[in-house]
Amino acid sequence: MASETLLADPATRLDDLLTEALATPGLAGVLAADPGRGAALVTGAREVAAAAFVLEEPAALDVAHRALYVLGAQQGWSPVGAQRDNEHDLTLAAVRLELERAFEAQLARSASLPEDLPTDPESFGPWLEHLALERPVPFEGPSMGEFYREHATLEQLSEVVAQRSLFFLKEPDPWTMVIPSLHGRAKAGLIDLILDEYGWGRFDQMHSTVYEVLMGKLGLETGYDHYFEQTSWPVLAGLNYQAMLARHRRLCRRMYGYIYLVEADSPGSMKNYLAAYARAGIDDPEVLTFYELHIDADEGHSDVALNEVVMPVVREEPAAMAEVARGVLEGRWVHSLLSAHLHACFSAGRSSLRAGGTAR
């Protein structure tokens, strides 16, 4: 078990120590002069990783996923004055690997592949579609779809929008990082999908811009990571999963599977959100457009992800089928963490935000 101070004390929580380290000018020199400090960070990461990803203690999962997120956020946009010198610091790289290795092992333990994985690429497509959308899995809890349709309040919808802004204001940045891992038709397919997410270069049509408009209409702040402190760790788990697949070349095939899962799942999810807004009496097009546009767009994206990315990959390299399937299955597991969290909070009348804050 991780020492209490690495989890609970704001002065010594691992995620806070990493935030401080990232903001330290000339961190490598500081750590060279004080080797104990760097060693303590790596040892601390190992302890937090064991408590989070082996023992699955909620407090440790909060620290571990916040730590992974602050390290991963270095790759994204930040204001001109942000400290950037420590992105590739060797101590921080070691910390990140300690956390990622344990997260990866937890994923392997929690979402094991079915034994009927096809050996023929042509039967893999329909099998993967079934795995993404219909196949029962042991870890799936209560459906949030039904909750949105029948019970969700506008306040609860706002909480979800605020927390998911950590992805949707940057959609689909992590996916671009696997473009160089592809070639030929599969590369063209992924670029086609990603360009659509970026509105084919038109600012007002970028999906992230449409999300920003939605947030503004709900009275939410639209700055990058504005809601990080209030975002619950199961949301961060989904983002850290993508960041991990994006930065390790050996995991890129899981990302192709994960992208397919997200796109295949999206039209149904978007219809559930729209039903919830309709029940709440919201008919403002600037709120609804983000959801409406995704019903059509993601039907197309799902088709492209399966037939123009995944299929060319597995036809050329049938051994990739297991990894692509793993991306779908692990994605379903990570998403189930969030569904379980939201369902437990909302059905008990509690906020889903970290520390029970408000999204407004």
CA dist 113 to 207, 208, 254, 273, Å? 33, 33, 12, 30
Q: Which two tokens stand for residue 294?
A: 């995704």
Among 47, 89, 159, 298, binds Fe ion (CB under 5 A): 298
Among 13, 65, 207, 335, binds Fe ion (CB under 5 A): 207
* Rounded Cα distance, 135 and 127, in Å: 9
* Rounded Cα distance, 118 and 97, in Å: 32
Query: Which of the stretches 67-75, 189-197, 209-217, 235-243 binds Fe ion when contact is defined by CB under 5 A?
Result: 189-197
Helices (H) and strands (E) in the chain, counts: 17, 0
Rounded to a whole number of angstroms, the minimum distance from the CB of residue 129 to Fe ion is 16
Rounded to a whole number of angstroms, the minimum distance from the CB of residue 276 to Fe ion is 19
164 or 301: CB nearest Fe ion: 301
187 or 207: CB nearest Fe ion: 207
* Rounded Cα distance, 258 and 235, in Å: 15
100 or 263: CB nearest Fe ion: 263
Query: Which of the stretches 54-62, 178-186, 207-215, 252-260 binds Fe ion when contact is defined by CB under 5 A?
Result: 207-215
Among 65, 187, 254, 301, binds Fe ion (CB under 5 A): 301
The candidate with the shortest Cα–Cα distance to 82, out of 264, 225, 180, 219, is 225
Residue 212 binds to Fe ion (criterion: CB under 5 A): no
Rounded to a whole number of angstroms, the minimum distance from the CB of residue 246 to Fe ion is 16
Rounded to a whole number of angstroms, the minimum distance from the CB of residue 262 to Fe ion is 7
Residues in the chain: 360
164 or 187: CB nearest Fe ion: 164
263 or 308: CB nearest Fe ion: 263
Rounded to a whole number of angstroms, the minimum distance from the CB of residue 294 to Fe ion is 6
The candidate with the shortest Cα–Cα distance to 165, out of 235, 109, 80, is 235
String marking each residue 245-264 x if it binds Fe ion according to CB under 5 A: ------------------x-
302 or 339: CB nearest Fe ion: 302
Class of residue 120 by CB neighbours under 10 A (exposed 0-12, middle 13-18, buried 19+): exposed
103 or 258: CB nearest Fe ion: 258
* Rounded Cα distance, 254 and 107, in Å: 12
8 A C-beta contact, residue 290 and residue 222: no
Q: What are the b/e assignments for 50-81, b being 16+ CB within 10 Å? A: bbbbeeebebbbbbbbbbbbbbbbbeeeeeee
Task: Give the residues lining the site for Fe ion (CB under 5 A).
Answer: 197, 207, 263, 298, 301
